[in-house]
Amino acid sequence: MRCMDEQSTFMPDLTIGYGLFLVVWGIAVSILSASDSITSYFPSILGVPLAVSGWLAKSNPEKRKFWMHIAVIFGLFCALGGTRFFMVMGDGLDYASGSMLMLFVSGLVYTNLCVRSFIQARKASE
């Protein structure tokens, strides 16, 4: 079983990692696809505030709840942004649709983990 401090930094650490993953993904896909569209950087654009809010949640324990609520909003934006995949999936899987699918799946997983963490924190405080 993890100690309390490890439990309290797991979600901020996960948020930082997820945000950095999105930043790298957006840059890599944009370079690999030779895209000149700003939309190819959409994962990176969402990843920056995720990583920053995770870092702020970790570095400011008294404001952790606030920053993690901000982070889950961006996680939800990832999932919602990825729903565009279902509009273009008939065209086949390419860099753009692959990014949309990644955003949808990872955004759903991340948001689900955040909600579960919020519920667990609420129960622990009662």
**Based on the structure, what is the number of domains in the chain?**
1
The pLDDT, as a whole number, for residue 3 is 44
* CA neighbor of 67 nearest in space, from 117, 125, 120, 2: 117
Per-residue model confidence as pLDDT tens for the chain (126 residues): 344 455 578 999 999 999 999 999 999 999 999 998 999 999 999 999 999 999 999 999 999 999 999 999 999 999 999 999 999 988 988 999 999 999 999 999 999 999 999 999 888 887
Tokens linked to 9: 């930094």
| Domain hosting residue 85, numbered range | 4-125
pTM above 0.85? yes
Token pair 């924190």 in the structure block, residue: 121
- Phi-psi region at 2: left, alpha or beta (left = phi > 0; alpha = psi -120 to 50): beta
